[in-house]
């Protein structure tokens, strides 16, 4: 699939989008149930794949798979809790519970990272300023500017490295020469960032930012479609949080691994969180189906 911006979920009102991402990330961060963490991971990965295309998707996926494996291996080396020792290393037991808990942590971490990446793609600066510009204008400006500069720094860093490499900066081998070259690149990046910040400040001053009575233009309107999504999100996350507070979705690894319960209450919580996790992906998939259907009628 080609790299393109999403057309369905992205068109929702910023308040709905912000509510959705905060809900999913909070649940994923404070849940230890492997089923729910797996649903969060697959939902985030699917949505990110739809947004970024196959090439970038698999590049990122390989990195995060390696990171997850590293976390799963590291945890049992430092945590020796559990009642099922598999073998001993330097006199310390490596337990099944510690290994599975490491896998669980890896699921949570990678899932949250993917949802944060999706958030940065969907919640652009104009949407963030629309939500918080009037309530906390200075804080929202600082946060939106910081979030904006992260991708700018990455692109500029690649550009500076490419130019310096063509000029022969990295021809000399050795650790010291490598560090010296990177320091030169970093110095150029800092100089560019300072100049860019001055230009941004001058541009904002020329446009009248901060003056009293200054109006704000917005293209965002709250529609019936947004209300439907918002109600759906609130109901689903309400069921999930209620289930978590009642201990329905609790899962423990220490001192021994809990058994999976698939009663009606557990299934209700799993289905609710599964639907919640796949709302963006299903929304975009529906847009693609409707587009192809409309094109076939022409």
pLDDT tens for 10-29 read: 888 989 999 999 999 999 99
pLDDT in tens, 28-37: 998 889 999 9
- On whether residue 148 sits in a domain, the answer given is no
- On whether residue 193 sits in a domain, the answer given is no
**Residue ranges making up the domain that contains 28:** 9-136+221-297
Distances (CA, A) of 176 to 110, 167, 184: 34, 19, 12
Tokens of 254: 């220490």
Burial class (CB in 10 A: 0-12, 13-18, 19+), 101: buried
Cis peptide bond N-terminal to 255, omega within 30: yes
pLDDT in tens, 227-268: 999 999 999 999 999 999 998 888 888 888 888 778 889 999
Eight-class DSSP state of 86: E
Mean pLDDT of the chain: 81
pLDDT in tens, 156-173: 888 888 887 777 776 777
* Torsions phi, psi for 85 (to 5 deg): -70, 135
CA distance 155 to 152: 5
Query: Is the confidence at residue 221, as pLDDT, over 80?
Result: yes
- On whether residue 49 sits in a domain, the answer given is yes
- On whether residue 82 sits in a domain, the answer given is yes
- On whether residue 284 sits in a domain, the answer given is yes
What is the model's pLDDT at position 145?
Answer: 67
- On whether residue 195 sits in a domain, the answer given is no
pLDDT in tens, 108-148: 999 999 998 888 888 877 787 777 766 666 665 666 666 66
What is the model's pLDDT at position 18?
Answer: 92
Number of domains in the chain: 1
- On whether residue 150 sits in a domain, the answer given is no
- On whether residue 280 sits in a domain, the answer given is yes
């Amino acid at each position: 699939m080609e790299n393109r911006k999403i057309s369905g979920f992205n068109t929702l009102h910023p308040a709905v989008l912000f509510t959705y991402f905060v809900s999913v990330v909070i649940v994923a961060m404070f849940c230890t149930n492997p089923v729910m963490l797996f649903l969060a991971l697959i939902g985030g990965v699917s949505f990110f794949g739809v947004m970024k295309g196959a090439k970038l998707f698999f590049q990122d996926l390989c990195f995060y798979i390696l990171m997850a494996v590293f976390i799963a291996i590291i945890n049992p080396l430092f945590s020796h809790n559990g009642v099922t020792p598999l073998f001993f290393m330097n006199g310390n037991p490596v337990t099944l519970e510690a290994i599975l808990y490491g896998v669980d942590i890896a699921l949570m971490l990678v899932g949250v990272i993917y949802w944060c990446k999706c958030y940065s793609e969907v919640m652009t600066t104009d949407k963030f300023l629309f939500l918080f510009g009037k309530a906390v204008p200075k804080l929202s400006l600082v946060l939106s500017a910081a979030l904006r500069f992260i991708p700018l720094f990455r692109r500029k860093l690649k550009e500076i490295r490419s130019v310096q490499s063509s000029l022969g900066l990295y021809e000399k081998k050795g650790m010291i020469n490598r560090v010296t070259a990177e320091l030169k690149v970093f110095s150029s990046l800092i100089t560019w960032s300072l100049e860019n910040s001055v230009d941004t400040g001058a541009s904002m001053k020329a446009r009248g930012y901060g003056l009293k009575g200054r109006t704000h233009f917005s293209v965002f309107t709250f529609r019936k479609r947004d209300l439907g999504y918002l109600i759906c999100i609130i109901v689903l996350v309400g069921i999930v949080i209620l289930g978590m507070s009642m201990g329905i979705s609790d899962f423990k690894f220490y001192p021994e691994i809990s058994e999976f319960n698939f009663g009606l209450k557990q299934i209700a919580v799993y289905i609710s969180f599964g639907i919640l996790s796949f709302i963006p992906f299903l929304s975009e998939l529906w847009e693609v189906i409707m587009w192809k259907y409309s094109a076939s009628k022409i």
